Amino acid sequence: MIILKGIFILLFIMIFFSTLRSELHAMSHAHKKNLILLTYNEFKRKMILLLVCIIVILLLIVFADSNITMILTQQEHLVWAKGISYLVDTSPVMVLLIVLYSVSFIKNQHSKFHETLRVSILSFVAVLIVGGILKVLIARTRPFVDINPYEFFQYTHFLSHHINKYLSMPSEHTLRVAALLLPFIFSYKRILIRFVLWFIIVLVMYCRVVTLNHWTSDVVAALILALAISHFIYKNAEIYRRK
């Protein structure tokens, strides 16, 4: 099992670098040279929106997290909700991306689906890196450990074997599924496609909260982060620049 998992990780790394190389190759020299400046300007333009998002998350922490979690603790954890959580773990999502990328590359590497999938892969890796850093910096206790939404910066637990219990914000499952699906929501205009994709994202968010793995603010923060990163990568990708 360990060897098989290692093979899948290696394949995914190869696909990621292939995707990154394809996108960089498609960029003009001027665009690549100004990419850092574009990132900085985008951050400045969205500063007010960022502050609004932070305020919303703080309000959720104060007024929603404890109340919603107390309601959920009175219910039995749903088996199907746990199953959905397992389906969007890192390994299943990586295998799905490897299969989809390989099939679409062989079939037509210049198709809209394949180009959008490249954005998904780049977004997937980017949100996992940024989200992982934020998890460690915020160090928030998960609700199944302690129903206290104000337990942040629990660095003293990092030396224990239960470090994952103190890495609640942002929700990694939400980051993964949102990074995977948001580029397709940006790219495809059909209402039905967008509705189904948004339904999947919201369903995963609900499952992470109802199983007490995350607070409501954790999944909302993850969605906001995934939206920001995925949209920025999509706007600089080949599929968007050709519009």
Q: What is the pLDDT of residues 186-199, one digit of tens each?
A: 999 899 999 999 99
Give the residue with greater pLDDT, 159 vs 50: 50
Question: Is pLDDT of 224 > 90?
Answer: yes
3-state secondary structure of 163: helix
Question: Is pLDDT of 167 > 60?
Answer: yes
- Residues 193-211, mean pLDDT to the nearest whole number: 93
How is the chain split among helix, strand and coil, in percent rounded to 5?
80, 0, 20
For residue 195, the Cα-to-chain-centroid distance in whole angstroms is: 18
Question: Is pLDDT of 23 > 80?
Answer: no
Please, which pLDDT band fits residue 201 given cuts at 50, 70 and 90? very high
94/80 Cα distance (integer angstroms): 21
Residues of the domain holding 24:
2-241
Question: Is pLDDT of 131 > 90?
Answer: yes
Question: Is pLDDT of 66 > 70?
Answer: yes
Count of structural domains, the chain: 1
3-state secondary structure of 10: helix
DSSP string, 172-224: HHHHHHHHHHHHHHHH---HHHHHHHHHHHHHHHHHHHHTTSS-HHHHHHHHH
51/149 Cα distance (integer angstroms): 21
